[in-house]
Amino acid sequence: MTPQKSDTTAIPFYRDERILKIIAQIVSTVVIFGFLIWAVINFLKAADARNMELSFGFLKEAAGFPISNPPIDYEPSMTYGRAFIVGLVNTLLISGVGIVTATIVGTLVALARLSSNWLLSRMALVFIEFHRNIPLLVLLFIWYFVVFSFVPPVKESLVWPGPIFINKRGVYISWPRLTDSGSTFLVLSIIGIIAAIILYIILRKRRKNTGKNTYYTPISIGLILIFSVAGWFLSGGSPFQMDIPFLKGFNYQGGLRLTPEFAGMYLSLSLYTAAFIAEVVRGGIQAVNKGQIEAARAVGLNQMQVLSLVVMPQALRIIIPPMISQYLNLTKNSSLALAIGFQEVFAVGKTTINQAGRAVPVFALIMITYLSLSLLTSFILNIYNRRIQFVVR
């Protein structure tokens, strides 16, 4: 062997991957940070020139703008901070009910799409293709400006069983409200539910470990029943009172009022997302191997058991990740409510900017809110997802 020069001298430095990497590292750092610093310097200059205030102090000032039908106490004399919280509650409210409705409707549509009845399956397809190919904003305008324009005025309200009154001012639903003695019932029921959950987990674990049937489902349901019945009697037999809307002057009073803005946003948002969820659910169910179903049948499981013990656990594994992103989309899409004047987080922020200036802090607040909502949702659902993936494996 003739002694050779070491490799490092054989390769010129501009072809040595190790050196190139360090150079790339330095260059990318300089470029990215340089760009960020440049933007911040520009921003500080602009802020200085326009005398902008960047603090969040304005949150303590009086807002001065009204919010129609606030979900929590709110008066225009309250602060911007309070207004922002009202907006946040509105966002959470519409996302929450939207997610529940979209999931139920989406699953039903998916099942209809998989039905052996050609007509039903086609109808589901029409529902899906209709909603998936029209922008949400157009759907929203159709619901709010077109469908709701056919709703009668207050004096000629539509009355649906419930009773539910529908008129131009909104939807008024009879709603059970707690009476003075009702809190006993509520507290006892909650204790019952918590106790039932704990017992359910313990007994289920024992069942798993020992293999003996511990009847965990009937026992926990019974526990909830016992506690709520006890609470019912302790509260004098009437924990709730139906709050029925009634016509007073030019408007309905009492009951649960949904504004037309809320109803329009809620309907368009849930139906739009339901179409996407239907496709997700259908994809998940269809992805379950046919052999699995046949094997389950062969073992002697009935239709219900096949669905709940074999198909759904496997389908859920596929369904949940895209479902999470649909839920997040729904939450973010609720910001479109701005276009029809439903006062959720973004709309409140927009009004604040118009009134108080302070575009930068308000935007920071809005972005942080949405980001934490997104991160929180995906965090919680990811935990659930991991559990499901693990159990089924």
Partner 1 sequence: MAIKEMEQDIVRPPQPPGLVKWIKENLFSSVFNSILTVLLFPTILYLLYLVIIWVLFGANWKAVSQFPLLFAIGQYPRDQIWRVGFVFSGFMFMLGISWGRWSGLLRSIALAAGSFLLLIAVLPVQNPQLDMTMRIYLGSTILITLVGYLIGNKTRLKNAFIIAGWFVIPIVGVVLLAGFENSERIPVVHTTLWGGLLVTFLLAAGGIVLSFPLGVALAFGRRSSLPVVSGFSTVFIEGIRGVPLVTLLFMFSIILALFLPVESRIDRLVRALMAVTVFSAAYSAENIRGGLQAVPLGQIEAAKALGMGNFKTTVFIVLPQALRAVLPAIAGQFIALFKDTTLVVIIGINDFLGIGRSIINSDPEFVQMRTEVYIFMAVVYWIFSYMMSLASRRIESTMGIESNL
Count CB atoms within 10 A of the CB of residue 385: 17
Judged by beta carbon, residue 204 or residue 332, the one nearer partner 1 is: 332
Shortest distance (Å) from residue 252 CB to partner 1: 26
Tell me the residue ranges of DSSP E strands in the chain: 158-160, 164-167, 170-173, 175-178, 240-243, 246-248, 251-253, 256-258
Shortest distance (Å) from residue 306 CB to partner 1: 17
Identify the residue among 69, 179, 374, 385 touching partner 1 (CB under 8 A).
Answer: 374
Shortest distance (Å) from residue 369 CB to partner 1: 9
Judged by beta carbon, residue 33 or residue 215, the one nearer partner 1 is: 33
Judged by beta carbon, residue 39 or residue 202, the one nearer partner 1 is: 39
C-alpha–C-alpha distance, residues 303 and 311, integer Å: 10
Judged by beta carbon, residue 223 or residue 373, the one nearer partner 1 is: 373
Among candidates 83, 103, 106, 105, which has minimal Cα distance to 95?
103
Shortest distance (Å) from residue 103 CB to partner 1: 18
Identify the residue among 125, 229, 324, 339 touching partner 1 (CB under 8 A).
Answer: 339
Three-class secondary structure of residue 252 per DSSP: strand
Under rule CB under 8 A, which residues in 49-88 are in contact with partner 1?
A: 49
Q: Roughly what angle, to the nearest 10 degrees, separates helices 216-234 and 182-210?
A: 170
Shortest distance (Å) from residue 167 CB to partner 1: 20
Shortest distance (Å) from residue 289 CB to partner 1: 14
Judged by beta carbon, residue 69 or residue 335, the one nearer partner 1 is: 335
Judged by beta carbon, residue 42 or residue 241, the one nearer partner 1 is: 42
Q: Mask of contacts with partner 1, 16-55, x by CB under 8 A?
A: -----x--xx--xx--xx-----xx-xx-xxx-x------
Shortest distance (Å) from residue 138 CB to partner 1: 5
In this structure, are residues 113 and 97 in contact, taking their beta carbons and an 8 Å threshold? Answer: no
Under rule CB under 8 A, which residues in 143-162 are in contact with partner 1?
A: 145-146, 149
DSSP for 292-354, written as a single string:
HHHHHHHHT--HHHIIIIIIHHHHHHHHHHHHHHHHHHHHHHGGGGGGGT---HHHHHHHHHH
Judged by beta carbon, residue 173 or residue 336, the one nearer partner 1 is: 336
Judged by beta carbon, residue 134 or residue 226, the one nearer partner 1 is: 134
Shortest distance (Å) from residue 331 CB to partner 1: 8
DSSP for 165-205, written as a single string:
EEETTEEEE-EEEE-TTHHHHHHHHHHHHHHHHHHHHHHHH
Question: Sign of the C-alpha dihedral, residues 151, 152, 157, 158?
Answer: negative
* Structure token pair of residue 7: 């490799």
The four Cα atoms 313, 319, 325, 329 give a dihedral, to 10 degrees, of -110
Under rule CB under 8 A, which residues in 89-128 are in contact with partner 1?
A: 115-120, 123
Residue 363 sits in the site that holds partner 1 (CB under 8 A): yes
Identify the residue among 69, 191, 332, 356 touching partner 1 (CB under 8 A).
Answer: 332
Convert 136-155 to b/e letters by CB count within 10 Å (16 or more is b). beebbbebbeeebeebeebe
Among candidates 387, 374, 217, 373, which has minimal Cα distance to 316?
387
Under rule CB under 8 A, which residues in 262-291 are in contact with partner 1?
A: 279, 283, 286-287
Q: Which residues pair with 241 in a beta bridge?
A: 177
C-alpha–C-alpha distance, residues 296 and 252, integer Å: 56
Q: Mask of contacts with partner 1, 221-260, x by CB under 8 A?
A: ----------------------------------------
Which residues of this protein are in contact with partner 1, per CB under 8 A? 21, 24-25, 28-29, 32-33, 39-40, 42-43, 45-47, 49, 115-120, 123, 129-130, 132-139, 141-142, 145-146, 149, 279, 283, 286-287, 332-333, 335-336, 338-339, 346, 350, 353, 359-360, 363, 366-367, 370-371, 374-375
